[in-house]
Amino acid sequence: MRPVVVAAARGELDAVPSPILILGGIASVQFGSAFGATLFDRAGPAGVVLLRLALAAVLLVPITRPRLAGRPRRQLLTVAGFGLVLAVMNWSFYEAVDRLPLGPAVTVEFAGPLTVAILGSRRLIDLLWAALAGGGVALLAFVGSDGSGSSRLNPDGLLLALLAGCCWAAYILMSQRVGSIFTGLQGLAVALSVGAVLMVPAGLVEGGRALLQPGVLAGGLVVALLSSVVPYSFELTALRRVRAATFGLLMSLEPAVAALAGILVLGQRLRWGTLAALVMVVAASIGTTLNGDRRVPPPLD
């Protein structure tokens, strides 16, 4: 997978249509998250996050070769803060996935960046889209996973997914600043390194010696590739050519792709209550995108 990043840097992916790259990135992220969940029993969510961030950094740093020497302290603090956001976002999301089906977890998390997009608008109709998205999240919280209220989703998982959504919103705001400081994927490589260091204590507590097992290390490498290296290489290329509205419209499919990954990889069931909530959030995201030329940057889930 290393050649994917090199190819992106050289412009060799430019021949691939942008929508295909974006959809490929979305599928890679969500199926990577689903595969990561299969490692939780051996290394714990925090252990998997540590492996994902550390191995992604090991892959990206030698390729991007970010330069930190001579940079102002403010820039270094900014990218360090970005790394903190990435660490908390990934940890809270993986902990949520450990307690919730993947589809509902991403649906709740997606409310964070969707809120940022809606708050950036002054249109009255976007308030209606916000209400629709909020209704979808409330449906997940109060109706439950089977639509009858008899099997409600784990409340701790919902709170963790909301925390991940807040971090995703912070990521949107901070990524613009980091992108203006570093070129290409340099800022991401530094932030991943910082995030990996911050995850060491929790990762070692949950993962322990399992983190050194060949099978777990190989699984962590797969997660790092699918959830970080491949999608960001694809999206970096696509965002140079695609309209913001097109990007936002395709990103609206993320909760649906997450639900599909949960079904195919984890054998999770998509109940009527979950399906209705997912449709509400996806519809709100599509409506918001069609009513404005905004985009929602992808997360590092």
Residue type, position 240, single letter: R
Residue 296 domain-assigned?
no
**CA–CA dist 75, 73 (Å, integer):** 5
**CA–CA dist 142, 239 (Å, integer):** 37
Residue 295 domain-assigned?
no
Residue 253 domain-assigned?
yes
| 167 CB neighbour count, 10 Å cutoff | 25
CA nearest to 103, candidates 268, 249, 227: 268
Residue 173 domain-assigned?
yes
Residue 197 domain-assigned?
yes
Residue 5 domain-assigned?
no
**CA–CA dist 16, 18 (Å, integer):** 6
Domain extent at residue 72 = 16-290
Q: Model pTM? A: 0.81
pLDDT in tens, 84-142: 999 999 999 999 999 988 888 888 887 777 776 666 666 677 677 777 777 777 776 66
**CA–CA dist 300, 8 (Å, integer):** 18
Q: How distant is the alpha carbon of residue 44 from its chain centre?
A: 18
| pLDDT given at position 9 | 47
Could you tell me the mean pLDDT of each successive run of 10 residues in the chain, 301 residues long? 52 68 86 91 94 92 85 90 93 93 84 69 69 74 49 82 88 77 82 94 93 92 88 70 64 79 82 77 73 54 59
Q: Which two tokens stand for residue 134?
A: 């909020």
**CA–CA dist 230, 263 (Å, integer):** 22
- In the chain, the number of structural domains is 1
Instruction: Scan for tokens 């998509």, then name that residue.
Output: 270
Dihedral angle over CA of 301, 108, 25, 113, nearest 10: -90
195: phi then psi, degrees, rounded to nearest 5: -60, -40
Residue 301 domain-assigned?
no
pLDDT in tens, 186-213: 888 899 999 999 999 999 999 989 999 9
Residue 243 domain-assigned?
yes
